[in-house]
Amino acid sequence: MEPLPQIVDVRNGFEYRGGHVQGAKNCQYLLPCGFVSRIEKLDLDESKPVYVICLSAHRSIGAVRALQSLGYDARHLKGGMQAWRKAKYVETTTATTTSNR
């Protein structure tokens, strides 16, 4: 079986717990500086792409830029969770999250 892709959901914890892509790790994005310190705790593999998702793709664009500045091959999901839900893809509420502090 092929391993799940690396997915980072940058919405806040409440949004994430309401439904997210299976296997996505939550790391809220507000500003690059705080995000960078928290993203390091997720232990992402820098040799593999990282897919970033938020509600509508606005926050994920900033997070992708921050990840790219660290050397990650980061990409955002066009349309975010709104597009995911519109396509009726599966969501889960099982959480993998980092502290926002």
Residue 10 scores a pLDDT above 90: yes
Residue type, 35: F
Question: Where along the chain do its domains lie?
Answer: 6-86
Range of lowest pLDDT (18-32, 62-76, 85-99) = 85-99
Contacts 24+ apart (CB under 8 A), 68-73: 69/32, 70/36, 70/39, 70/46, 71/46, 72/44, 72/46, 73/48, 73/49
Confidence of residue 1 (pLDDT cuts 50, 70, 90): low
- For domain 6-86, give the CATH number: 3.40.250.10
| Tens-place pLDDT, residues 34-87 | 898 899 899 899 999 999 999 998 999 999 999 999 999 999 999 999 999 999
Residue 33 scores a pLDDT above 90: no
DSSP secondary structure, 24-84, as one string: PEE---SSHHHHHHHHGGG---TTS-EEEE-SSSHHHHHHHHHHHHTT--EEE-TTHHHHH
Q: Which is more confidently placed, 48 or 100? A: 48
Q: Across-strand partners of 51?
A: 7, 75
- Name the pTM for this structure: 0.88
What letter would DSSP give residue 91? -
What pLDDT is stored for residue 100 in this prediction? 45
* Residue 44 neighbours by CB under 8 Å, 6+ apart: 6, 8, 50, 72
User: Which pair of tokens denotes residue 7?
Assistant: 């997915």
